[in-house]
């Protein structure tokens, strides 16, 4: 079967760095997405990785290793507004999105 695993919840301190991991097993691979979702709002696109390596975009970076079925989202200089759920999703060979359950990130002062 297809599945995406990511931690249910993580806690970090304002100003620190946090890494949210995502491992996947899917039938085919057409890219991996990271989204941020605040409670009651639509998910916001953060990144898309289809090739191995690190993609940096401001305070957020996303890494992909296709051979390991692994990705992580790295958030630097954490701010209170980064408290949200972070969703990992993989697009399979049929261009369907397989979703992780999301990681709730709690930022403490």
Partner 1 sequence: GAVVSQHPSWVICKSGTSVKIECRSLDFQATTMFWYRQFPKQSLMLMATSNEGSKATYEQGVEKDKFLINHASLTLSTLTVTSAHPEDSSFYICSATSGGALETQYFGPGTRLLVL
Is the CB of residue 71 less than 8 Å from the CB of residue 62?
yes
Of these, 34, 35, 63, 86, which contacts partner 1 (CB under 8 A)?
Answer: 35
Site for partner 1 (CB under 8 A): which residue of 73, 78, 98, 107?
A: 98
| Number of residues in contact with partner 1 under rule CB under 8 A | 20
Cβ pair 100, 5 in contact under 8 A: yes
- Looking at the DSSP bridge assignments, the partners of residue 13 are 108
Does 48 participate in binding partner 1 (rule CB under 8 A)?
yes
- Strand 18-25 relative to strand 70-75: parallel, antiparallel, unpaired? antiparallel
What helix, strand, coil percent values describe the chain, rounded to 5? 5, 55, 40
Least distance to partner 1, CB of residue 87, Å: 8
Query: Taking CB under 8 A as the rule, does residue 37 contact partner 1?
Result: yes
Smallest gap from Cβ 15 to partner 1, in A, equals: 26
Site for partner 1 in 52-91 (CB under 8 A): 85, 87, 89
15 in helix, strand or coil?
A: coil
- Which residues bind to partner 1, rule: CB under 8 A? 35, 37, 39-40, 42-45, 48, 85, 87, 89, 94-99, 101-102
């Amino acid at each position: 079967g297809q599945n995406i695993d990511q931690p249910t919840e993580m806690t970090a301190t304002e100003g620190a760095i946090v890494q949210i991991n995502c491992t996947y097993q899917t039938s085919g691979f057409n890219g991996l997405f990271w989204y941020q979702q605040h409670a009651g709002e639509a998910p916001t696109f953060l990144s898309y990785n289809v090739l191995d390596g690190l993609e940096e975009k401001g305070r957020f970076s996303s890494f992909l290793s296709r051979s390991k079925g692994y990705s992580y989202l790295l958030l630097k200089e954490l701010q209170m507004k980064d408290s949200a759920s972070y969703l990992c999703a993989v697009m399979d060979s049929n261009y369907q999105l397989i979703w992780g359950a999301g990681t709730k990130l709690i930022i403490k002062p």
